[in-house]
Structure 1
Amino acid sequence: MGIIGPNGSGKTTLLKCLDKTLTPTAGRILLDGKDLAKISLKELARKVGVVPQQWEVNFAFSAWEIVMMGRYPFLTPFARESREDWVKGRAAMEATNTWELANRPITELSGGERQRVMIAQALAQNPKLLLLDEPTSHLDVNHALELCELLRELKQSEGLTILAVFHDLNLAARYCDALVLLKEGQVYASGQPEKVLSTENLEVVFGVHVRIRQEAETGRPSILFLPRTKAEV
């Protein structure tokens, strides 16, 4: 599922409420029928993996060390990783095609490589739900497509539920099974991409003119953004 909307519409705030970085001012969030407010951070980390938009690291940890940090929810204080932890870590790296990067310092990796390592770290938690905040925002077109293909493969092979914030509407249209369109902190529309990405919805929420056609290859909507006329500017 993809979360879309203009800047300031609440996309990242929504994710931060889901991973308990922020606390909602009203209402409840349920995870497996349990109030999120009553779930400890360690318990939450066993169910939900998070890949933030930016992840700053000031020490040259190896990619393997970064991935193994994802096993902390399963460790007792002062305990070392078990064989099972190592197996989970390697499996996560193999699933994301990062095993060959295991000994490389994270600071020396490209943006695409680093993003895949961060996804591997989240997978090492063995989560049911994977949250990603604009996972393609710092990637070129080729690496953005590779990452989206990887996420689609992981959804199938790992049985994951994936919730991702997208800035690129065409990527969201191509890869998401469902979309949530936000406007000023509220859900403006939700459902299949063909329903949500209508000319009317996009013009109202984003304030731009669009032309939408159906891709022959995928059957998904493709969006062309049109400039405003001089009278509208």
Structure 2
Amino acid sequence: MSNRQLLVSKIENGIVIDHIPAGKAFLVLKLLKQPSDAETLIAQNVESGSLGKKDLIKIEGTYLTSSEIDIIAFVAPNSTLNIIHNWEVKEKRVIKPPEKIKGVFQCPNLLCPTNKEFAAPPTDFKVETGEKIEETKLHCTYCDSTLWYGSILEIIRKNGFQIEGRGLVSEAKIEKVFLEALIKGGALRFPPSPDQPFILKSGRPSPYFVNLGALTDGESLA
């Protein structure tokens, strides 16, 4: 099968990361920590009108956290993330470095408050970008120390960063977490018996009722 045939093959649900700089696909894939059973397609050195050559990744049945997208931006800036649902592109965005990044990279200053042994706050960096990705640097908001791009890339290559809940989020996991939040928050209700279903405003009977207004705490809304 040719690269052209691989590129046009569609996925039902999942993500497509396109316009990755040539040679960076496996580094991006390493950052994602995809499940071992994830259906993954990688195309390298594919002809591109804008880049000359590009890489591309397709992963079936998985999605990314915002923190993972931020990390990809330091390796493959201006790549394109496509979110696929029911064979169609539901969302498309250009991946760019964030303005701030928290709790991911360690501050290089050992005397920084974020490096305290106990009760240390999460790291918090302002992101400064330039015309080239190599000009990117991070400024610690606590001690104003600078993390240069070479150090950022080295940390990424060695997996020396932290992301809470790191790893691709499957659609099944999203559904499970959402259902648990509904139950915990008392938002999911069932009638006293199957013979007495809830009657919706439309007049249709329903075997359950979801009241999203019951989710009032920060954990549930997140």
- Tell me which protein shows more helix as a share of its residues: 1
Same fold, TM-score > 0.5, yes or no: no
Greater C-alpha radius of gyration: 2
| TM score, norm. by length of structure 1 | 0.24
| TM score, norm. by length of structure 2 | 0.25
Higher RCO (C-alpha under 8 Å, 6+ residues apart):
1
